[in-house]
Chains A and B, each alone.
Chain A
Amino acid sequence: MPEVLLETRGLGKRFGAVVAAEDVNVSVTAGEIVGVIGANGAGKTTFCNMVTGYLTPDLGQILFRGKDITGCSVGQATEAGIHRSFQIPQLFPGLTVYENLLLAVGVFGHRRPPWWQPLVRPEVENEATAIMERYRIAESATTRVDRLPQGVRKLLDIAMAMVGQPAMILLDEPTSGISTKEKFDVMGNVIDALRKSGATVLFVEHDMEVVGRYADRVIAFREGRVLADGTPDVVLEDPAVIEHVVGRRPGRAPDA
């Protein structure tokens, strides 16, 4: 029986009159790759923000590995093993790809030196190099991040989130802003690397083709509530999901 990694019970969050989450009950098993879909404002990002400690839910509970982490800080959620990537990549724009990873590995990775010791040391450098190779961004190593194409930024953002070898990673729209041509390449690289690391993945995605191809399970949100939860073939064919989320038949990408 695989372990239930993440469980939310009756999660609720309001911003004034806007209901961003209401009675959200979700359970994710270790090793699963879960796609989260929903129209804009359906509560996908709010859900991510609550799980990673960025927002505190008004109601309900978040359990991670059976431990109550409701209302914990970003630092505590990170410490517990939940990391995330961002819809708009959050990187250190003035530094190169390699320097970004050096910094991440040096302050956070398992090979980080004591805080008063020089950060750049062979084990940190090797780890940073290995991560670049794993995510296939090594050829951009010496490029400043603010001069990178969006696809590489997305990959680096995810690579940065994976530095701490989290048990679970939340990807917020990993293919947004990437051309249709590139997105399967990027997503293929990411899912490959994540499967190898054994991380449990929850990804928010607008592109139903991507969801259909990579998710083991799909959760559809609508107006802060869970509309459907199940295998991709079932959820993506659900009439309510087609009407409110997909907007048209799956298989063709909806407009961004």
Chain B
Amino acid sequence: MTRLRRVRLTTVGIAVATAALLALWPLLPAWAAHTVAVSLGGGLVVLGLLILIRFGLVSFGQGLFFAIGGYAAALANQFLGITDMLVLSVAGIAAAGAVAWALGYIVRGHRGIFFAMLNLAFSMILFGILAKTVVLGSTDGFSVGVPTLLGFAPDPEAGRLTFMLFGYIVVFTAVVAWWVDRILASPIGYAGQGVRENELRLRYLGVSARGAVHIAYIAAAKLAALGGVFTVLLIGHVTPEDTAYWTKSGEFVFVAILGGSGNVAAPFIAQTVFELVRTFALQYAPDAWQMLLGITLLLVILFLPGGLWSLADRLRGRDA
């Protein structure tokens, strides 16, 4: 009963947040709108990690799928001349889905540190390939044009982040978050808890733990890829270092812990906090921003082991 109510509450929350962001667009300064949009992109990758964490798994290589999404969109734009953001998003999701489907056969038999590190290994291989591929600009990467939507091109004077792109990212992210929340409350989501808690029992309940992990892995990859597409469309440029490098993957895990796995909203809130802390720390303490981020994480782990989201649970007087 509580679970069902919670799903509905989350749906309402997502709808309100979406409407608020769209309504706030005229008031938001450019940097704030950019931070929000970039955070939604990064938050999608972390939402994928949240699914894996619900399954008791962590991946230190989500940068792999983040990069695949970003590069697939950038390539489709640069080499095929596709500018529609919807088509570019689908291209990113499809590419990552196919790769995750294949790699899933390898990773689904592994758990714990091996699962985490296998993904790190795959992401480093991709980084190496991208950094050595001259056609793709090697370590410098290459640029991506301004995207269109369903035949509408934004005002060329308006800069990269138009209401079209902002609204597209906000609405798309909201729909995806709503859907993930629903799936987490479905039998496949509960099967994830079974994988985390006791695989043997799950097998004797007729559920293939490996199959369930495979599905979760593909879902997380698609989310990471979509985040990669959004990020590349926002930045207008793609490089191996900003997508596939291992520090990027580590950053996503950082944010996942910062936010906690209590709710699908947590990744987006945490990613926004992360972007803000980084932006201000870079501005006011350019030599110490990593230290500030480290201290932030330390405080969260010590005082909020359930992540930022557990604050919401505490406010409602419920044990996290």
Residue positions of A touching B, CB distance < 8 A: 52, 74-75, 78-79, 83-84, 86, 90-95, 102-104, 106-108, 112-121, 125, 160-161, 163-164
Contact = CB atoms under 8 A, between A and B. Distances in A.
Interface string B189-208: 11101101110111111111
A75 B203 contact: yes
A124 to B, nearest CB: 9
B188 A91 contact: no
Nearest to A84: B204
A92 B185 contact: no
B182 interface: yes
10 nearest CB pairs, A to B: A92-B197, A90-B201, A108-B205, A120-B3, A78-B206, A118-B185, A107-B187, A115-B187, A115-B188, A103-B190
14 contacts: A52-B204, A74-B203, A75-B203, A75-B207, A78-B205, A91-B197, A94-B197, A103-B194, A106-B187, A113-B187, A116-B186, A117-B187, A119-B190, A120-B1
Contacts of B193: 92, 95, 103
Contact of A113 (B186, B202, B208): B186
Given A86-B200, A107-B194, 7 more contacts: A103-B191, A108-B206, A113-B186, A119-B3, A119-B187, A120-B4, A164-B205
Contacts, number: 90
Contacts of A93: 197-198
A125 B1 contact: yes
Interface of B: 1, 3-4, 7, 182-183, 185-191, 193-194, 196-198, 200-208
A107 B201 contact: no
Contacts of B197: 91-95
A104 B197 CA distance: 13
A9 B202 CA distance: 29
Contacts of B185: 118-120
A115 B198 contact: no
Given A78-B205, A108-B206, A92 B194 contact: yes
Given A95-B197, A113-B187, A120-B4, A107 B205 contact: yes
A119 B6 CA distance: 13
